[in-house]
Amino acid sequence: MSMGGPRLRGVRELKGIAASQGVATGKVKVVVSPADFSRVEEGDVLVAKATDPSYVLVLGKVSAVVTEYGGVCSHAAIVSRELGIPCVVGIEGATKLLKDGMLVEVDGNEGRVRILD
């Protein structure tokens, strides 16, 4: 019996919903609140439970977006399409499974996040 949330245990790929096309590679930055925005750097992969209009402050500098919740009409999906960056939504537990600094490839065409390191 597992207590304490999701774990990777050998998983190298996570599957979600393809929400904005493209493929990008970058280091994970988990953002749980606007207080984390100052930690986001150019080219990071933003990982969040979901996004809202306040996230526009950082979405312009990330290479891709991954969220736990949402669909093709979610805020993350719509803004990512407008910015031309890959987005995968609907990956349950993404903010726990993906850790700051992990190198990942976000495939917004297939709805996959591959862990590269």
Catalytic residue from among 26, 40, 63, 75: 75
Q: At 54, phi and psi to the nearest 5?
A: -65, -25
Q: How many CB atoms lie within 10 A of CB 15?
A: 14
Order of strands, sheet of 23-30, starting from the edge strand that comes earlier in the sequence: 13-15, 112-115, 103-107, 23-30, 45-48, 64-67, 87-89, 17-20
Residue 86 annotated in active site: no
Cα separation of 49 and 46, whole Å? 10
- Cross-strand bridge partners of residue 106: 24, 113
Kindly list the catalytic residues: 75
